[in-house]
Amino acid sequence: MQVFNRGAELSAALGNEKVLTGFVPTMGALHEGHVSLVERCRRECRRVVVSVFVNPTQFNDPADLRSYPRNLEADLKLLEAAGADFVYAPSVEDVYPEPDTRQFDFGQTDKVMEGAHRPGHFNGVAQVVSRLFAIVQPDKAYFGEKDFQQIAVIRAMVRQLQIPVQIVPCPIVRGADGLALSSRNALLTAEHRAAAPQIYAALKAGVEFSRTATVAQTERFVTERIDSDPLLKVEYFQIVDADTLLPLDQWREGVATRGCAAVQAGAVRLIDNVGGYGPYDK
């Protein structure tokens, strides 16, 4: 496994030879969720490239950027074991020699949920991912469904910029107690960590409830269930069309659903999502 701090050097090492190249962009503080993406990439591609970069332009909260966990040494050990060939761990200056002023427009896709609650977040994601794609030029890029809306935004970006890469969505990896693995879980207090699995439990309970209830009733049910724990506070819970990410007003036959939540657990903001809501999407 080779580690690069400079994009130009990584590009040169990758060369122009046509080799099926897979790419996994991450912000480090790696866990089994990231590892599942790298292992899938390893199975499907000849060459596996992983980036570890905490991208400042996608943080709308400076305190969140400051406290974001970083541990490159441990990350490199995990990546080596998972079968990565190339790691790109750059400085901010290497990725952004000059400020990126590009403004993307993803229509309605980035106006709801994370897009509505974290202004500028997806614009920053598109900035960094488009730069990383330009350096790595991958054939396939792997993204976790943990960030469900992010996949739709990346797909829109790839279409708009006509980047010839296949986006591969990967299932959410959870702890034994159901909590979706996240680098931010390490920042939870012991009490909030103990409460956090109730998010997934409520999302799943909502799927059962939704079989005989309306969209609005289900959204209220899940929200109240999570909020019933004083340590958790729902920022939003919304059931959307899984393809367009647009909010559903009623269940529709043939439309796949996804229930997406953002929850404040003390100082830490957690997101999670589950599919299969309503009487049709079983």
Q: Which is nearer to ligand AMP, 30 or 213 (CB)?
A: 30
- Taking CB positions, which residue lies at the least distance from ligand AMP? 144
The Cα–Cα gap between 213 and 193 comes to 31
- State the nearest-atom distance from the C-beta of 136 to ligand AMP, in Å: 15
Site string for ligand AMP, 94-133 (x = CB under 6 A): ----------------------------------------
The site for ligand AMP, by CB under 6 A, has a size of 17
Q: Which is nearer to ligand AMP, 94 or 147 (CB)?
A: 147
121 is in an annotated binding site: no
Residues with a catalytic annotation lie at 34
Q: Which residues of 239-263 are buried (b: 16+ CB within 10 A; e: fewer)?
A: bbebeebeebeebeeebebbbbbbb
The Cα–Cα gap between 40 and 110 comes to 27
Element of type H or E holding 40: helix 32-44
At 96, is the secondary structure helix, strand, or coil? Answer: coil
Q: Residue from 75, 147, 219, 281 that binds ligand AMP (CB under 6 A)?
A: 147
Binding segment (CB under 6 A) for ligand AMP, from list 169-177, 216-224, 226-234, 254-262: 169-177
34 is in an annotated binding site: yes
145 is in an annotated binding site: yes
Q: Which residues contact 98 (CB under 8 A, 6 or more apart)?
A: none
At 116, is the secondary structure helix, strand, or coil? Answer: helix
Binding segment (CB under 6 A) for ligand AMP, from list 69-77, 142-150, 221-229, 236-244: 142-150
- State the nearest-atom distance from the C-beta of 38 to ligand AMP, in Å: 9
Q: Which residues contact 92 (CB under 8 A, 6 or more apart)?
A: 56
Nearest to 241 by CA among 278, 204, 269, 271: 278
Exposed, middle or buried, 105 (CB in 10 Å: 0-12/13-18/19+)?
exposed
Q: Which residues of 203-220 are buried (b: 16+ CB within 10 A; e: fewer)?
A: beebbebbeebebeebbe
Q: Residue from 14, 23, 26, 281 that binds ligand AMP (CB under 6 A)?
A: 26
- Residue 41 engages ligand AMP in binding (rule: CB under 6 A): no
- Residue 143 engages ligand AMP in binding (rule: CB under 6 A): yes
Site string for ligand AMP, 173-212 (x = CB under 6 A): x------xxxx-----------------------------
Q: At 270, which amino acid appears?
A: L
**Residues annotated in the binding site, as ranges?**
27-34, 58, 144-147, 150, 173, 181-184
Residue ranges in contact with ligand AMP by CB under 6 A: 26-27, 33-34, 36-37, 143-144, 146-147, 170, 172-173, 180-183
